[in-house]
Amino acid sequence: METLWYAVLAGMITMYVILDGFDLGVGALHRVLARTDAERQEAAGAIGPVWNGNEVWLIAGGGVLFLAFPRAYAAAFSGLYLGLILVLWLLIGRGLGLELRHQVDDPMWRAACDTVFWLASAGLVFVLGVALGNVVRGVPLGRDGYFHLPLFDILNGYAVLVGVLSTVLLVAHGTAFLAVRGTGALAIRARRWARRLWWPEAALVAVLAWPTHAVRPSMLSNFTDHPWRLVFPVLAVGALVAVAVAQRTGAWGRAFVASSLLLAGLLSTAAAGLYPDILPAREGRPYGLTIHNAASSDHALTVALYWWPVGIALAAAYFVFTYRLFFGRSPGAATDA
């Protein structure tokens, strides 16, 4: 039962990263891709109907963590409290920048909102990547199941590297989205950036393999002991190659799907490598939290299993309706320059 809920949690987080990831990517390059007020309005309008709904997956993921693994929820949210506060402020800033942009018809007001929007989007991507890097690296959990990390311990070299990778990945994901949904010069510029960002993506994915092995050697043994788990890194590598092929042939819809599969492959690789740890301690410390010692009771997990499909079915129906309503028609075509 614990393994099932671990898979559900990993799936919820993956859905959030894929769906809200293109919103964040569009925001992070907002002032670079969109150079005129009309283009910035078009870029904001491309994600405007869905960005708020995409964030539901983050809340739902937190709810699943609280429900299934309450000890890990309590330890992570207390030990990474500063990061959580930063995430909340960045979420607020992004929402305000996007929603208030149209409330005042003044160029300076719109420029200020655009600045807040792109800074909050880029900052959020980086902070979430740093948080993931700290989870993979391990935290200094004590006997009581809690820990505290000062700011400069949170910003360690490995976590910062994961934060940089997450920023590049989601910015590239956002450019792939605008390459499909944008029109005219905005779409052309997005396609150029998507091609340029493929190389940093590939380089960082390759470079990160050794530091990950250095900070958590058990991740490698998880794959060698259970070879079937290699399907996840194979998915990531195959998706990375598919992105390049789709970009080369101008199949930008396929490039966006491949980018989504790349994110899914990388996150599932991390989840499979960490399993059964959910909040591991640093190497040499004995108090890590696993899916077994952090889980709710069997009764609670069983009861939740009856209600979770109902909630996820309603959420899926809402998303299908929303995306069909707003993305049912293709935008105007753009010609690559």
Which neighbouring-strand residues pair with 51?
none
Q: What is the DSSP track for 99-151?
A: HSTTTS--HHHHHHHHHHHHHHHHHHHHHHHHHHHHHHH-B---TTS-----H
Q: What does the pLDDT read at residue 283?
A: 67
Tell me the average pLDDT of the chain. 90
Q: Are the beta carbons of 162 and 241 closer than 8 angstroms?
A: no
Contacts of 209 (CB under 8 A, 6+ apart): none
Q: Three-class SS of residue 289?
A: strand
What is the enclosing helix (H) or strand (E) of 13?
helix 2-28
Tell whether the model's pLDDT for residue 247 goes beyond 90.
yes
Report d(CA 76, CA 94) in Å as an integer: 24
Which neighbouring-strand residues pair with 78?
none
Domains for the chain: give ranges and CATH numbers: 2-327 (1.20.1630.10)
Q: Residues 290-336: pLDDT tens digits? A: 999 999 999 999 998 888 888 888 888 888 888 888 776 545 445 45
Q: Residues 45-63: pLDDT tens digits? A: 899 888 888 888 998 899 9
Helix 70-79 and helix 81-99, axial crossing angle in degrees, nearest 10? 80
Predicted structure pTM score: 0.92
What is the enclosing helix (H) or strand (E) of 182?
none
